[in-house]
Amino acid sequence: MIRPSLSCLRRRAVPCHWVLGVALLLAAAAVAAGGLAQVKERGVLRHLGIPYANFVTGAGDGMDVELMRAFAGHLGVRYQYVQSDWAEIIGDLTGRTVKSKGDDFEVVGKVPIRGDVIANGMTVIPWRTKVVSFAEPTFPTQVWLVSRADLPVSPIDPGPILAQDILATKALMPKRTLLGMANTCLDPDLYDIKATGAKVSLFKGTLNELAPAVINGESELTLLDVPDALVALQKWPGEIKVIGPVSERQDMAPAFRPGDNDLRDAFNHFLAQLKASGEFRRIALAYYPFVVDYFPDYLPESPAAIAD
């Protein structure tokens, strides 16, 4: 039972029921939040996701859906999917809605916490590392410049130095219309795209709609990350082409609340076991069968597979 303190009784300017109300709200927020102990006490792992590429398909499966289902089973709790969107998902995890400002961020509001982990192909970029705690990487990525197949721009000829490939790609952008998406890994400001002379527009739809927007002629160029580009190349064969890279290699990883280190560490331990057994490789290739063509070091044979 919460009892009013003596200081509360003495200060008539601050009614005791206000203090009690704040204490109860803080207690409720702590229970709603997460952490390994709270997840086990609640008996459910709340997976925050957004239908995106093959991480969360929207049909009840996806690479990250399988990983989080398996993680919930590992913890001995029930799995629950909680759908969000790119503008709200960090707030749904941390209780703070934020907006990127280059490599930093600003808090723009407070919202209720709705989940324990974000897993939908979230790219590890500098400003996000300041607001969430990323687990070990689960997928390699990179940002590519993509166009419709009939655009009279030839893909670059890749060389041994990635930085030179990026410069060659950017040299093809001047005066071309280009779509990006703010507050994501496809934000043109992260890659200094405006300095190229491209005519940049920020897309108002979802990430899954960027490739169709280019195919439909809404823009000559767009930024896509590797997983979305791989899905688009399979879904619309012969309708889009990859011009070249815009970024260095990046990583995607599940994101946990800062302070929920025990839950993050439990996932990292589980992930290491999954990789050692060969199950992680099976899951990844089920949703991205061509990823090793672009990142051959991503899925080395597990000790278990080699032993077999």
What is the tens place of the pLDDT at every residue in 203-244?
999 889 999 999 999 999 999 999 999 999 999 999 999 999
Torsion angle (degrees, nearest 10) of CA 56, 60, 65, 67: -140
Percent above pLDDT 90 for the chain: 79
pLDDT at 256: 98
Write out the H or E segment, with its range, that includes residue 266. Answer: helix 261-277
pLDDT at 20: 39
Using an 8 Å Cβ cutoff, are 42 and 8 in contact? no
pLDDT at 15: 44
Q: What is the mean pLDDT of the chain?
A: 88
pLDDT at 306: 47
Write out the H or E segment, with its range, that includes residue 68. Answer: helix 63-75
Q: Is pLDDT at 249 greater than 70 in this prediction?
A: yes
What are 123-166's pLDDT values in tens digits? Answer: 999 999 999 999 999 999 999 999 999 999 999 999 999 999 99
> Cα 98 to the chain's mean position, in Å?
15
Provide mean pLDDT across the span 170-196: 95
The topology (CATH level 3) of 34-140+252-307 is D-Maltodextrin-Binding Protein; domain 2 (3.40.190)
CATH assignment, 143-248: 3.40.190.10
Burial class (CB in 10 A: 0-12, 13-18, 19+), 292: middle
Q: Is pLDDT at 1 greater than 60 in this prediction?
A: no
pLDDT at 262: 97
Percent above pLDDT 70 for the chain: 87
pLDDT at 183: 85
Contacts of 159 (CB under 8 A, 6+ apart): 165
